[in-house]
A = this chain, B = another copy of it.
């Protein structure tokens, strides 16, 4: 439940959202940032780029909220009428702001372009606003204080909106409302779904002090646990959060793989870099997705040497050295085959570690003994090769995602000697 005291409302102006052309990711990002900073969001509206819709939305928001944040409708063309409408709403006029005009000139000069009359209009802003610099674009942000309420307007381009909200608007809101200190910490877990995880840590959760809140943020294969503490003594809040995390570790020692939105590919990459070790993958059902995930990290060439994606059985034999007898006697989705794949790629690519997968991704190809979603995953090091059987269910995309995460987690455990 939303329980902060200062109420904010988000108004996104944009026909492209109303026609379903784009998903309104701006609203979610803004709401997350506002909540992280102690401001509740009581209402979000997406409206058309018309004077009537903007005026009505401003009026209705000013009844519900203390702070009204607008995005969109700030381009220099005639279609974008937000600025004129804001001026009218506040009973004032547009004036040319010299500092903003200079910034717009500089913006175009730095790109070797001169200022057109259309672009010059970016410096015209309502007389009652404080302009907010927008280094990523030409439309300035605008800050209004009227009749005991705050209004702030930003462009809808995500990078411009994000910079203005986090660098200009939220600091001003915090100063204005002197909110209490907020300390957050996110704990990253893998290995249990939300409901089972919640059962396992219920006792710990019930012992949390009242001013520390817990949020479950699930995504496929990962549950993030976000602790938020509110109070006047920041140092004490940090200590309390650290103590809570320390206590949590006793409940789910195997499930926590990191903090603060780190990914499993980042954690394993850091462990490999630190230990100066290398890895390769041999992938059947994941089809290269583990390699693709590992190489999303810049600099992964320091520890990742490569992969053999062995979709066909004779590729498993010839490129990985899987014994034909193993394939014949146990089938491709089996412990002997996945272990031979891991060992094969480790030897041929001369790496310290290797991961291998073999499973039934679906939707076809399942049998009673080997149903869709059954996946064998192996991790091989010089000392040992360990394989585990998983069952991920019927969805092909989800099977791949959970296989990738489970494989990376097996490598992580091997690297920390767990």
Residues of A within 8 A of B (CB): 1-2, 15, 17-25, 27-35, 40-48, 53, 56, 60, 64, 215, 217, 281, 283, 286-292, 294-296, 298-301, 304-312, 315, 318-319, 348-349, 361-364, 396-397, 400
Instruction: Find out whether the CB atom of A363 lies under 8 angstroms from the CB atom of B298.
Output: yes
Contact A43 B41 (CB under 8 A): no
Bound-complex Cα distance A311 to B288 (A):
13
Shortest distance in angstroms between A272's beta carbon and chain B's nearest beta carbon? Answer: 13
Are A31 and B18 in contact, with the CB atoms below 8 A?
Answer: yes
Q: Is the CB of A2 within 8 A of B18?
A: yes
Question: How far, in Å, is A203 (CB) from chain B's closest CB?
Answer: 23
Give the chain B neighbours of A40 by CB distance below 8 A.
18
Of B23, B294, B308, B312, which one neighbours A23 at CB under 8 angstroms? B23
Chain B residue contacts of A309, Cβ below 8 A: 281, 288, 291, 295, 306-309
* Bound Cα distance from A407 to B32, whole angstroms: 37
A335 CB → nearest B CB, Å: 21
With contacts A48-B2, A286-B292 taken as known, whether A35 is within 8 angstroms of B23 at the C-beta atoms is no
Taking the nearest CB of chain B, how far is it from the CB of A235, in angstroms? Answer: 26
Contact assessment for B287 and A294 in the assembled complex, using a CB-CB cutoff below 8 Å? yes
Interface of A is mostly: mixed
Q: How far is the CB of A396 from chain B (nearest CB, A)?
A: 6
Query: Is A19 a contact partner of B35 (Cβ separation < 8 A)?
Result: yes
Which of A2, A30, A46, A319 lies at the interface centre, i.e. has the most chain B CB atoms within 10 A of its CB? Answer: A46
Cα distance A17–B40 when bound, in Å? Answer: 12
Residues of B within 8 A of A25 (CB): 23
* A2 and B31 within 8 A (CB): no
Instruction: Point out the residues of chain B lying under 8 angstroms from A397, CB to CB.
Output: 296
Q: How far is the CB of A63 from chain B (nearest CB, A)?
A: 9
CB neighbours of A33 from chain B (8 A):
20
B48 touches A20 (CB 8 A): no
Chain B nearest CB: distance from A313 CB in Å? 10
Residue pair A292, B295 in contact (C-beta under 8 Å)? no
Cα of A47 to Cα of B42 in the assembled complex, Å: 7
Contact of A24 among B21, B28, B286, B318 (CB under 8 A): B28
- Chain B nearest Cβ from A7, distance in angstroms: 10
A284 closest partner in B (C-beta):
B306
- 28 A-B pairs within 8 Å (CB atoms) are namely A2-B19, A17-B27, A17-B31, A18-B44, A19-B35, A19-B41, A20-B28, A21-B217, A23-B23, A24-B28, A43-B46, A43-B48, A44-B46, A45-B46, A56-B64, A281-B309, A287-B294, A287-B300, A288-B309, A291-B292, A292-B292, A296-B397, A305-B315, A306-B309, A306-B311, A306-B319, A307-B308, A312-B349
- In the bound complex, how far is the Cα of B19 from the Cα of A281, in angstroms? 39
Q: A19-B31, A32-B21, A298-B362 are in contact. Are A349 and B315 (CB under 8 A)?
A: yes
A29 in contact with B20 (CB, 8 Å): yes
